[in-house]
Structure 1
Amino acid sequence: MPALTKPRFDRQELAGAFGDIGTDLPLIAGILLATGLEPSGVFLAFGLAQIASGLLYGLPMPVQPLKAMAVVVIAGQATGGQLQLAGLMIGALMLLLAYSGLLDRLQKIIPVLVVRGIQAGLGIALARTALGLTGREGHWGWIAAAVAVALLIWLRRHHHLPGALLVVGAGALWAAFYRIDWPSLAAGFGWVAPTPAALPWDQWLAALTLLVLPQVPLSLSNSVIATQRTVTDLFPDRPVTLRGIGRTYGVINLLSPWLGGIPMCHGCGGLAGYYALGARTGGSVILYGTLYLVVGALFSGAFQEVLRAFPAPVLGAVLLVEAGVLLLLLREVPRTPLALAIAGVVALVCVFAPQGYLSGMIVGCILFYSLRRWLPPPARAPG
């Protein structure tokens, strides 16, 4: 395995540190509001997981809330205790898959062309979420998001003034003057110790059926397989293995509930977001995690005011750039109509079908193996 890259803490890494906030913050806020979980434990566990990921991989390897589980909880169909129990269960399952070698077998079976379609499907889903966030602020939100996206693209290679610092900084200043209730923020300041989860062991079957089973396909396709492929795409000199990703996924979820945290995973969208905003080492993830540690340690009593520091159009702009990086990976698909059609079908199934990522993976594999005699030889990810 290549030597780890030493984390940097320069302007580029600070700018890149905001590459995944458009995905993470709305999900965490939704979970906290829906469950009443203690914010200090959620933020502290999330921050520690980010820092550990940055140190272990030496890359901007993201840690994100488990999306399928989050959607069920935010919809009011499961409790916070069930969510944390489900995190333990899926963590144990992922460790079993990693150490048994089943993840490596999946990598050999699932063609890179299908993974490209999954990446593109996630890009479309992120773009759709970004448009929803931006639309919350009316026509001024659309104008602000358009300006933000233009700045992020125009300044993406500017080392002295990274676009993300300018955009996020401007959004935070606007929120400071026009949105944040400073007396409420001051009233919520102070240390709140995290408390371990009170796990409802008698509800394990509900946690399994409501939360774990819907999450597994998304985790296998996006959190593990597509993330490993995206590392290979963006950092070809610093490859990681499926087994390694599965191990950290599992360990994070086995530890998180004992701090009062929520289930987490890696994700190719977050990696693309960090990269798009300038991150190239684990320093960006460490900086991002430190932000959550500060919020969890000192401001968890006023977390709703903290959320106001990130206006929806800024989050939407970051998500749009993140989506663009994933969609541009379609350039690596063989330039034949059939190959592009298969990748496109996989992407659309991922976005619109029930259990989309599992369905997309299955449909893509069926199409690939049925039609591969007419396809150019596929380039496979290193094993």
Structure 2
Amino acid sequence: MLPTITTTPTRLTTIQKVKSNLLFRSTLSELNGAMGDLGTYIPIVLSLTLSKNLNLGTTLIFTGFYNFLTGAMYGVPMPVQPMKSIAAVALSDPSFGIPEIMASGILTGGILLVLGFTGLMKLAYKLIPLCVVRGIQLAQGLSFALTAIKYVRKVQDLPKSKSLNGRDWFGFDGLVIAIVCVFFVVVVNGAGEKEHEFDEIEEELGGLAGQYKFGGRSGGCVAILGAAKLVLGFVLGSSLAHFFQQFPVGILGVLLLFAGIELAMACRDMNNKEDSFVMLLCTAVSLVGSSAALGFLCGMVVFGVLKVRNLTSVKSLSSIWKHEGQEQV
């Protein structure tokens, strides 16, 4: 009788899994992919550094650490991005300083942690209508874009959040350079092209799609970016801010403009007339009242009223008038 050989499935240890996640698929492609998310990261962090005195060294260290951590854990080019909505409020509201930015980040992280651990994320997804979320995104995106246009048109005193005289046409920080930058971004980014099959997916994934498009395939892609941020943060620290103070604010405004447009374009999936109405109402209240919370509250109330109207089968006045007009004809 021959002895039976039993094979036990081998499980990857934590160290082996981390090594596998950080392994480059193609060195040049991964290095190129690491740069794919900087188009969003640099203008937002730079704007907050110049206008709100954000500590650039600390920001580089912590974002670099989390870049390396996400690459090691997930094995895909998972980006670490500043939230455009928080940045939009911070840049458009002079009273929104570093303490408010920190509180917003901590509260956002805490809420997401609770929702993730308790499994309430699905419940929140069902209770909060997508049209209300899109309305807030559209308002923040437009606010971001309007602030960016102000950066382009006017000379800025960023620490005081004040606009000064109109910007000169020529010079290192002139309007001509900013307009050339707009054309360059449009041509390189492909803005205005026909929609492709994966456009909707790329819009939802944001930086992940950008890094994937540039060649990133593994966690090593963001890990190398995180290592570069850590080196810059520890070696140069906040002294980088003095260097970036010479950066042309007009070009920075152009980069912020496209970041705001990207945030606002999330609303293009609202095809239903009723959802579009709620979305635009949220946007209008948020912009006029300068309060996203007020816009959210009004959107939820109006959405609930419309749902009750649909359930009770009460005809709107416009439909009654339309029906009477057809009878008279």
Higher relative contact order (CA 8 A, sep 6+): 1
Task: Say what the alpha-carbon RMSD is for the aligned residues.
Answer: 4.4
Which residue in the other structure is 1:41 paired with? Answer: 58
1:223-262 → structure 2 map (5 Å cutoff): 233-235=200-202
Pairwise CA distance, 1:109: 0.8
The TM-score with structure 2 as length reference comes to 0.61
Residues 333 and 340 of structure 1 are in contact (CA less than 8 Å); yes or no, is this contact kept in structure 2?
yes
Tell me whether 1:123 sits opposite 2:141 in the alignment: yes
Aligned-partner Cα distance in 1 for 2:306–2:93: 40
Name the amino acid aligned to 1:17. L
1:266-345 → structure 2 map (5 Å cutoff): 271=206, 275=210, 281=216, 289-300=226-237, 302-308=239-245, 310-336=247-273, 338-345=274-281
Residues 32 and 214 of structure 2 are in contact (CA less than 8 Å); yes or no, is this contact kept in structure 1?
no
Say which of 302, 306, 309 aligns to 1:371.
Answer: 306
Say which of 24, 27, 39 aligns to 2:45.
Answer: 24
Which residue in the other structure is 2:126 paired with? Answer: 108
Pairwise CA distance, 1:124: 0.4
Residues 202 and 209 of structure 2 are in contact (CA less than 8 Å); yes or no, is this contact kept in structure 1?
no
Q: Any gaps of 5 or more consecutive residues in structure 1?
A: 159-230, 240-270, 376-383
**Residue 131 of structure 1: SS of its match in structure 2?**
helix
Change (3 A) 1:285 1:118: farther
Structure number with bigger Rg? 2
- CA deviation string 1:174-195 (max 9, x = no partner): xxxxxxxxxxxxxxxxxxxxxx
- CA deviation string 1:30-75 (max 9, x = no partner): 4546xxx6x5434311322344345556355343275499679985
Pairwise CA distance, 1:116: 1.8
Q: What fraction of aligned residue pairs are identical, expressed as a percent?
A: 21
Q: Any gaps of 5 or more consecutive residues in structure 2?
A: 1-20, 156-166, 192-197, 312-329
Pairwise CA distance, 1:19: 2.2
Name the amino acid aligned to 2:260. A
Residues 148 and 256 of structure 2 are in contact (CA less than 8 Å); yes or no, is this contact kept in structure 1?
yes
Name the amino acid aligned to 2:298. V
Pairwise CA distance, 1:330: 2.9
1:129-208 → structure 2 map (5 Å cutoff): 129-137=147-155, 138-140=167-169, 141-157=174-190
Pairwise CA distance, 1:135: 3.2
Change (3 A) 1:149 1:16: farther
Which residue in the other structure is 1:355 paired with? Answer: 291
Residues 134 and 312 of structure 1 are in contact (CA less than 8 Å); yes or no, is this contact kept in structure 2?
yes
**Residue 139 of structure 1: SS of its match in structure 2?**
coil
Change (3 A) 1:325 1:84: closer
